[in-house]
């Protein structure tokens, strides 16, 4: 197992390039299951989750290859319809094959993803949405088993206790493209990754309106064709680099970035005293003042503050001049990074689903353990500003979601190396 060794205290300067979005590419790859024709997806990040999706395709007897930043999928009529536990357990997003498989094969069996360290991960909205389109679904032997004679369009309200669901929306959207008649998805997730999937489906021949808003309308078609599509830039990777610049008191030009996908983060960073200028697909980030102001943040569905940026934002709040309150409204248990940050000298305590962060003047390097993808990113950020050496173990989480992170950070001055544990 690898660990990351980081010597903190160097401001980051230079240009950093953002890769394609992990959360967009996974449902887009899954949507290729809806056609028998070739699909070419470009601007694909080199990530373990992309490889896992390719393995799921191979287990379905479908040829998929990752080659120089593109995934080429050559679907054909396959009789296989099972996504196995051994693959799904390593990547919860595997559930996004459920809707496409059901629509194309009329049958799908996908392992229940189970919980994970960030909390409960129910699938009731996925099931509710697909049932509304006529699917028969049961949970048996740890698998979601779905079948249908003919999918029919319907009105589906996809609201849960914590608001909309990104992957339930993508599943129902994909299934609705091949359903007979019109589907109206209300309380749909508005995340840019859902809109990017809809753009890909439209290129395949789907009839979709309203994507990127809470009401998506789909007019089912008889079949979909192949398509070529470039994935949007990863807004969470972009946000992570923005915080790296602010945290280390550096100056970064972030390329291949979409400022319009990050309004909630930009707003909070500006409140803290970070200067952000965007031109075209470039964002420049540099502190406007020496000390950062504290900030209150509540995570919400898009366009609210992303839960996937909560841990990284906490690392910045940890060195601000005052008290910040960070409240998690999507995954109320997503605070595994708090105790590790405290080991590095942060002053954070939890009060229900809120973290009270008292800014400190200095953090110090320590051995810490990564618990999930975004917590790992936050520990890397914290280590970049901490005095001395930090060893982050279980770094494999980072490889699930960040494409060549240390290579990119080293190029802008970070002192990072990977070692075997
Ligand atoms: C996606 C993202 C993940 C991000 C999350 C929230 C991908 C691959 N992953 O995950 O990085 O953190 O959105 O922005 O895109 N819920 C239910 N019932 C369901 C499904 C979800 O109650 O059937 C709840 C969840 O527990 C959570 C909330 O809805 O509280 C949002 O989760 P959801 O949007 O579904 O997350 P994912 O799509 O799995």
Break the chain into its structural domains and give their ranges. Answer: 2-18+233-420, 22-230
CA–CA dist 346, 334 (Å, integer): 17
* Better-predicted residue by pLDDT, 360 or 116: 360
Tell me which residue has its CA closest to atom 15 in ligand 1.
Answer: 23
Band the pLDDT of 279: cuts 50, 70, 90. very high
Does the CB atom of residue 121 touch ligand 1 within 6 A? Answer: yes
Report CA(163)–ligand 1 centroid distance (Å): 9
What mean pLDDT do residues 350-375 have? 96
Q: Give tens-digit pLDDT for 170-194.
A: 999 999 999 999 999 999 999 999 9
Q: What's the CATH number of domain 2-18+233-420, 1.10.510.10, 3.65.10.10, 3.30.390.50, 3.30.1150.10?
A: 3.65.10.10
Q: Do domains 2-18+233-420 and 22-230 have the same CATH topology?
A: yes
Cβ-contact 99, 172 below 8 angstroms = yes
Q: Give tens-digit pLDDT for 60-80.
A: 999 999 998 999 999 777 778
Does the CB atom of residue 130 touch ligand 1 within 6 A? Answer: no
- State if pTM tops 0.75: yes
Number of the ligand 1 atom closest to the C-alpha atom of 92: 39
Which residue do the tokens 């601000």 mark? 320
Residue 252's beta-bridge partner residues?
A: 14, 285
In this prediction, residue 78 carries a pLDDT of 77
Which residue do the tokens 């064709």 mark? 225
Cβ-contact 197, 28 below 8 angstroms = yes
In this prediction, residue 114 carries a pLDDT of 61
Does the CB atom of residue 229 touch ligand 1 within 6 A? Answer: no
* φ/ψ of residue 357, rounded to 5: -110, 110
Residue 64, both tokens: 């998929």
SS3 393: strand
Residue 109's beta-bridge partner residues?
A: 82, 145
CA–CA dist 209, 310 (Å, integer): 31
Q: What is the DSSP letter of 292?
A: P
Does the CB atom of residue 123 touch ligand 1 within 6 A? Answer: yes
CA–CA dist 125, 165 (Å, integer): 7
Band the pLDDT of 421: cuts 50, 70, 90. confident
Residue 33, both tokens: 């299951």
Residue 224's beta-bridge partner residues?
A: 35
CA–CA dist 113, 286 (Å, integer): 40
Lowest mean pLDDT among 159-163, 232-236, 273-277: 159-163
In this prediction, residue 191 carries a pLDDT of 98
Report CA(149)–ligand 1 centroid distance (Å): 28
What is the CATH number that goes with domain 22-230? 3.65.10.10
Query: Quick one: what percent of the chain has pLDDT higher than 70?
Result: 99
Does the CB atom of residue 165 touch ligand 1 within 6 A? Answer: yes
Report CA(390)–ligand 1 centroid distance (Å): 31
Q: Is the pLDDT of residue 383 over 80?
A: yes
């Amino acid at each position: 197992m690898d660990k990351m060794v980081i010597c903190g205290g160097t401001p980051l300067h230079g240009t950093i390039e953002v890769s394609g979005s992990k959360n967009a590419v996974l449902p887009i790859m899954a949507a290729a299951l809806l056609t028998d024709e070739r699909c070419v997806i470009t601007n694909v990040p080199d990530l373990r989750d992309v490889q896992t999706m390719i393995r799921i395709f191979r287990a379905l007897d479908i040829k998929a290859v990752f080659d120089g930043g593109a995934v080429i999928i050559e679907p054909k009529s396959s009789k296989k319809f099972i996504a196995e536990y051994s693959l799904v357990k390593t990547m919860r997003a595997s559930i996004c094959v459920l809707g496409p498989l059901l629509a194309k094969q009329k049958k799908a069996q996908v392992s229940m993803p189970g919980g994970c360290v960030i909390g409960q991960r129910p699938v009731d909205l996925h099931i509710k949405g697909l049932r509304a389109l006529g699917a028969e679904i049961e949970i048996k032997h740890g698998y979601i088993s779905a079948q249908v004679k003919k999918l029919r369009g319907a009105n589906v309200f996809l609201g849960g206790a914590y608001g909309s669901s990104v992957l339930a929306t993508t599943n129902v959207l994909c299934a609705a493209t091949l359903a007979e008649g019109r589907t109206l998805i209300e309380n749909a997730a508005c995340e840019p990754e859902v809109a990017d999937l809809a753009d890909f489906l439209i290129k395949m021949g789907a009839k979709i309106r309203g994507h990127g808003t809470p009401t998506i309308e789909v007019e089912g078609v008889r079949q979909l064709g192949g398509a070529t599509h470039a994935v949007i830039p990863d807004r969470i990777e972009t946000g992570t680099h923005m915080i790296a610049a602010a945290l280390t008191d550096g100056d970064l030009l972030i390329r291949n970035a979409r400022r319009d996908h990050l309004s909630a983060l930009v707003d909070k960073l500006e409140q803290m005293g970070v200067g952000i200028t965007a031109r075209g697909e470039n964002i420049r980030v540099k502190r406007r003042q020496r000390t950062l102001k504290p900030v209150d943040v509540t995570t919400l569905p898009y366009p609210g503050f992303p839960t996937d940026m909560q841990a990284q934002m906490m690392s910045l709040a940890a060195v601000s001049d005052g008290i910040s309150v960070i409240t998690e409204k999507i995954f109320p248990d997503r605070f595994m990074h708090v105790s590790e940050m405290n080991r590095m000298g942060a002053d954070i305590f939890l009060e229900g689903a809120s973290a009270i962060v008292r800014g400190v003047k200095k953090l110090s390097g320590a051995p810490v353990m990564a618990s999930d993808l975004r917590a790992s990113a936050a520990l890397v950020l914290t280590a970049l500003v901490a005095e001395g050496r930090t060893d982050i173990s279980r770094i494999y989480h980072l490889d699930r979601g960040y494409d060549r992170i240390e290579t990119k950070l080293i190029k802008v001055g970070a002192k990072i190396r990977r070692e075997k544990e």
